[in-house]
């Protein structure tokens, strides 16, 4: 086979080996062309919820392709999008009454930021400041990089990024510092929005904080007229133990972003849910107040049908019980490393478990990262550590035995860091 022309994401082609070619997916596994089965311990970048190729989702896709493909969504509509919007409004935290479709997590956040600025401008009191949480990640477009952590991921694009105000991550015993910082920033009523990943900061290192902090951030936002944007792209659809992570804080955000698990991981689709007040700020006989955003594949009917099947699975099958069972299994297995000097910061939230491998040089570019990926791959495990941060985020169909195999490999993998300590 000739050299591939594919430029892979987050891949340094100069030093990394050619990736395995995947020929088939099923349940908790992806299978290579030569027949090697890999346990997908990271849900293929956190998108697969019920398992690869869930029969009900696959059937919905096949059925919809018999009558629909892409339809322009400016000036036209279709049943899959209408039904899905109604379902999302019913399932989401109360007050999120409008659904704007896009096609990725990044674009759902871009939409949210534009909605927030438009809301304040059209209400006659323009605000442009955005507050973000330290270590946050919201995507790789210019706007989403601007509201995410600055560092190696985006240093080359710094001239294009807009400035934001940052509050510290609410580390254990330092939560009040986070709340005080936000209160100071919001006090003059000049902040348009606070954007946060509820309960778990994903790409920032699977950093976790309590629901009580989120609830208090919402209280401060309300008192200052600041909109709260909940980026539930990763945390939604059961990852944190509830359908949406916000539920655990009793919080209804002003804007909620969802993608990844929205279609069960089958097709790209995103939605930004907003309150009626935000919609009404753009609703006018003045066409200049139109919400000016779209993408070519907005509300793709086939993707919407897949998402509807996902909703039906949540409604008809014991998904909540599967999520709760997986959360228990994760907590039990990661607990084996409590007190183990090779690891630190052992943590779980819902179905997500993470622990930091002690190394001399930590962070996303830790030297141990590529070695860990290769180590797991050789053992038939698809893992993608965030540098020295090992995390387990599997589909809900994973079995107890499969988790045992995975955690045994994590135990063995700790030896790779021996020379760095």
What pTM, to 2 d.p., does this model score? 0.97
Q: Is the pLDDT of residue 216 over 80?
A: yes
Q: Is the pLDDT of residue 226 over 60?
A: yes
Query: Residue 418: its pLDDT value, please?
Result: 65
Per-residue pLDDT tens digits for 274-314? 999 999 999 999 999 999 999 999 999 999 999 999 999 99
Query: Residue 156: its pLDDT value, please?
Result: 96
Contacts (Cβ under 8 Å, ≥6 apart) of 387? 205, 362, 363, 364, 365, 366, 368, 369
Q: How confident is the model at residue 419 (pLDDT cuts 50, 70, 90)?
A: low
Query: Residue 309: its pLDDT value, please?
Result: 98
The answer to whether position 237 is within a domain reads yes
CATH number at residue 184: 3.40.640.10
DSSP bridge pairs for 59: none
Per-residue pLDDT tens digits for 24-74? 999 999 999 999 999 999 999 999 999 999 999 999 999 999 999 999 999
Q: Is the pLDDT of residue 350 over 90?
A: yes
The answer to whether position 389 is within a domain reads no
The answer to whether position 144 is within a domain reads yes
CA dihedral 258, 259, 263, 264 (to 10 degrees): -90
Domain enclosing residue 118, as ranges: 57-316
Query: Residue 3: its pLDDT value, please?
Result: 84
The answer to whether position 378 is within a domain reads no
d(CA 310, CA 184): 42
The answer to whether position 76 is within a domain reads yes
The answer to whether position 387 is within a domain reads no
Query: Residue 361: its pLDDT value, please?
Result: 85
Could you give the residue ranges of the DSSP H alpha helices within 187-238?
A: 211-224
Calculate mean pLDDT across residues 229-243: 98
pLDDT-above-70 percentage for the chain: 99
Domain count, the chain: 1
DSSP per residue, 84-103: HHHHHHHHSSTTEEEEEEES
Return mean pLDDT, the chain: 96
Q: Is the pLDDT of residue 90 over 90?
A: yes
The answer to whether position 140 is within a domain reads yes
DSSP bridge pairs for 31: 24, 37
**How far is residue 328 from each of residues 26, 335, 348, 401, measured CA to CA in Å?**
24, 11, 10, 14
Q: Is the pLDDT of residue 353 over 90?
A: yes
Query: Residue 420: its pLDDT value, please?
Result: 55
The answer to whether position 78 is within a domain reads yes
Per-residue pLDDT tens digits for 364-373? 889 899 999 9
DSSP, collapsed to helix, strand or coil, labels residue 194 as: strand
Per-residue pLDDT tens digits for 371-401? 999 999 999 999 999 999 999 999 999 999 9
d(CA 134, CA 153): 15
Phi then psi for 237, rounded to 5 degrees? 60, 40
């Amino acid at each position: 086979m000739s050299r591939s022309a594919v430029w892979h994401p987050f891949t340094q082609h100069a030093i990394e080996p050619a990736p395995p070619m995947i020929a088939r997916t099923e349940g908790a596994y992806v299978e290579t062309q030569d027949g090697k089965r890999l346990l997908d311990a990271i849900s293929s970048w956190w998108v697969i919820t019920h398992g690869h190729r869930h029969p009900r989702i696959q059937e919905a896709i096949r059925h919809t392709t018999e009558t629909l493909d892409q339809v322009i969504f400016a000036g036209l509509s279709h049943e899959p999008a209408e039904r899905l919007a109604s379902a999302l409004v019913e399932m989401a935290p109360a007050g999120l009454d409008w659904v704007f479709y896009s096609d990725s997590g990044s674009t759902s956040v871009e939409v949210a930021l534009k909605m927030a600025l438009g809301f304040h401008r059209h209400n006659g009191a323009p605000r442009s400041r955005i507050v973000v949480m330290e270590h946050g990640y919201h995507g790789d477009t210019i706007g989403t990089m601007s509201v995410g952590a600055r560092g190696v991921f985006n240093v080359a694009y710094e001239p294009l990024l807009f400035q934001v105000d940052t509050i510290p991550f609410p580390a254990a015993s330092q939560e009040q510092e986070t709340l005080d910082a936000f209160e100071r920033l919001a006090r003059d009523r000049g902040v348009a929005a606070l954007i946060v990943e509820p309960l778990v900061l994903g790409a920032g290192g699977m950093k976790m904080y309590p629901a009580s902090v989120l609830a208090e951030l919402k209280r401060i936002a309300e008192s200052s007229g600041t909109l709260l944007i909940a980026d539930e792209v990763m945390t939604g659809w059961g990852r944190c133990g509830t359908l949406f992570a916000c539920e655990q804080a009793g919080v209804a955000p002003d804007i909620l972003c969802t993608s990844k698990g929205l279609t069960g991981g089958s097709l790209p689709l995103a939605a930004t849910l907003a309150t009626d007040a935000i919609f009404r700020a753009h609703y006018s006989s003045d066409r200049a107040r139109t919400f000016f955003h779209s993408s070519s594949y907005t509300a793709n009917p086939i993707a919407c049908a897949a998402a509807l099947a996902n909703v039906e699975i949540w409604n008809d099958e014991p998904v909540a019980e599967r999520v709760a069972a997986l959360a228990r299994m994760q907590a039990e297995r990661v607990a084996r490393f409590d007190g183990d000097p090779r690891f630190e910061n052992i943590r779980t939230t819902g179905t997500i478990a993470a622990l930091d491998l002690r190394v001399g040089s930590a962070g996303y570019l830790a030297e141990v990262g590529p070695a860990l990926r290769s180590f797991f791959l050789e053992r038939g495990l698809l893992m993608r550590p965030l540098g020295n941060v090992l995390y387990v985020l599997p589909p809900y169909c994973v079995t107890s035995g499969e988790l045992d195999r995975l955690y045994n490999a994590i135990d063995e993998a700790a030896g790779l860091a021996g020379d760095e300590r």
